[in-house]
Amino acid sequence: MATRQRESSITSCSSASSCDADDEGVRGTCEDASLCKRFAVSIGYWHDPYIQHFVRLSKERKAPEINRGYFARVHGVSQLIKAFLRKTECHCQIINLGAGMDTTFWRLKDEDLLPSKYFEVDFPMIVTRKLHSIKCKPPLSSPILELHSEDTLQMDGHILDSKRYAVIGADLRDLSELEEKLKKCNMNTQLPTLLIAECVLVYMTPEQSANLLKWAANSFEAAMFINYEQVNMGDRFGQIMIENLRRRQCDLAGVETCKSLESQKERLLSNGWETASAVDMMELYNRLPRAEVSRIESLEFLDEMELLEQLMRHYCLCWATKGGNELGLKEITY
C-alpha cells in the first residue's frame, strides 16, 4: 500500500518472479559490468556517486586495460546521449534497453540534463534487485521523489513508474509485452526518442535483434539508437572471447552480426534506420581529449599497450537515426 508521507512514499509490493534458466548467464553479465564500473570509479576513472549504492566494491583488482575500456565505453555513450539531448533541448525521452544497474538517470539529473522521461528495461529479476536498492537507499529514491508531482509513488517487484523515471521488468524478445508495459508508463511515441543498448543485442538471435530494431524504428517519428557491443569477432581473439563466455553458460547468440563495423551498420540500415555510423573503441579512444587520456593513463600502469588495443578493436560504438531532420539528428557524431 502506498502511504501519504512523502519521505516514505516509495513502497514495495510482492510479486512472483519468473526466470528462464537459459538466460542466467546473460543476467550474470550485468553483475560483471557493474563490478567493473564500480572498481574503475573507485580509482578515479570517472565520477559516479551512485554506482556504490547498487554494487559493492570487489576485492579483486580489475586489469588496467579493462578499466580503460570501460572508461571509453562510458565516455562514448555519454557523449552521444548529451548530443541527442542538446539537439532536442531535452524535449525527448530515453529508453535504456537492458539497463542493468546503470546510473545515467541520476547523473543526468545532477547535470540538469534530464529528458521529459527516462525509461529503463531489463529482465524482471534484475529489475527487482535494482528497485530494492532504490527503495532502501535515499540517495537513489530522493531524486525520483523530488521530480514526482504526486504524494505517493507505487512500486512493485517488477515496475516503478514516476513522472520522470520508470523501470520496467520485461523480456526484450517479447515486443508486444515490451510495448504494452512502456505505454502503461506513458511512453510517448510522438516525442523524439533515444534508445540505448549496451551489450544487449549480441545475446539475442539475429532475428530477435532485427525485430527489436524494426520495432524501435517504426514506433517513433524521430529516433536515435545507440548500440555498444562486440565487433571483429571472426578472428582468433574473438573466438577466445566466445569460448570464455560459453564456459560461463553465456552464449553470444547474435555474434554473426558482429563480424565487422560494416555488418553492424548494415543491420541498422536494413531494419528501418536511415543513417548508421560505427567506430571501434580503439578509434574512439584515440579521439579522446588528450588531457583526459593523460589523466586516466596516470591512474595505473599498463604493461602492454597491445593488450588494450586488442581488446578495444573487438568492441564498437554504433549509432543510427531515423527522422528528426528538423532537429539535426543526422548531424550527431562522436
Name the more confident of 154 and 109: 109
**pLDDT score of 245 more than 90:** no
Of 43, 317, 198, 121, the closest CA to residue 51 belongs to: 43
20-331 CATH fold: Rossmann fold (3.40.50)
pLDDT for 58: 86
129 labeled part of a ligand binding site: no
| pLDDT digit string, tens, across residues 29-65 | 778 899 999 999 999 999 999 999 999 998 889 999 9
246 labeled part of a ligand binding site: no
Q: In the predicted model, what is the mean pLDDT of residues 121-128? A: 95
Angle at 7 between CA 54 and CA 183, to 5 degrees: 65
172 labeled part of a ligand binding site: yes
| 3-class DSSP state of 273 | coil
**pLDDT score of 17 more than 50:** no
283 labeled part of a ligand binding site: no
160 labeled part of a ligand binding site: no
pLDDT for 13: 40
List Cα–Cα distances, 303 to 72, 178, 286, in angstroms: 19, 45, 18
Evaluate the CA torsion angle 219, 223, 228, 233 in order and state its sign: positive
Q: In the predicted model, what is the mean pLDDT of residues 147-172? A: 88
List Cα–Cα distances, 55 to 41, 51, 60, 129, 133, in angstroms: 12, 6, 14, 11, 9
Domain ranges of the chain: 20-331
Cα–Cα dist 102/30, whole Å: 9
**pLDDT score of 87 more than 90:** yes
pLDDT for 216: 98
| pLDDT digit string, tens, across residues 165-219 | 999 999 999 999 999 999 999 999 999 999 999 999 999 999 999 999 999 999 9
> pTM to 2 decimals?
0.92
pLDDT for 239: 94
HEC per residue, 58-113 = CCCCCCHHHHHHHHHHHHHHHHHHHHHHHHHCCCCEEEEECCCCCCHHHHHHHCCC
